[in-house]
Structure 1
């Protein structure tokens, strides 16, 4: 299934075998922030651990800085479209890379949230985690609804 981008955000690709609807998307504000963060930090990834406090917020890391394993589930891939490769990128246009941000969740948390659709949004205020948006004075959060 292909990714869709609407005026109201970015809808992720279906990546879980046997499913037909995406499980994760970005709000317009989150998409805009993520594009800016990609330009500053290069390729990115999300991980949702389900831990207490800020561990229950989606954390955004430079790709590969959070190691995933069989204890994690890839819920979706958020495609920001084509753009510069990241920090100090000197090439654009037809040479520009497609910017795909994988969204991972711990398998234990997925067991609780398996019936939900997630929208990554952004709100004012700084979280206390290591997520790359923290210096921006905002934090990512999840808005959820039951899958249809």
Structure 2
């Protein structure tokens, strides 16, 4: 029972970003965006989502918004799934302040002469988990 209650709280806490991801994804469906479910996330790919991902300050194969993951293609989603699921967990921890915290961390790093994306602690956590998965350690850490 506690697990269900806890998961519900995570969903509610991350829901502002999830709602935005769902809204844009659903609006793009007539233009080719497709959906799939993976674990406790919804993933969408194709259509205008591709354009958005290609035109970010750092072009991306995928991007997480709460419990929604946007991807260039099903293959891109498969390739980035471990990384993006770390961001899902970060949204569950940080909730509606995740996006401002992420952007402020990037801005602070840029001001300090570092790389706003690659040195961002949120990205470093995700890339480290992805690296551990590549050597067979992610099941132990998940």
- For Structure 1 versus Structure 2, the TM-score category normalised by the shorter chain is under 0.3
Q: Which has the higher contact order (CA 8 A, sep 6+)?
A: 1
| Higher-strand-fraction structure | 1
The alignment's TM-score, normalised by the length of structure 2, stands at 0.28
| Higher-helix-fraction structure | 2
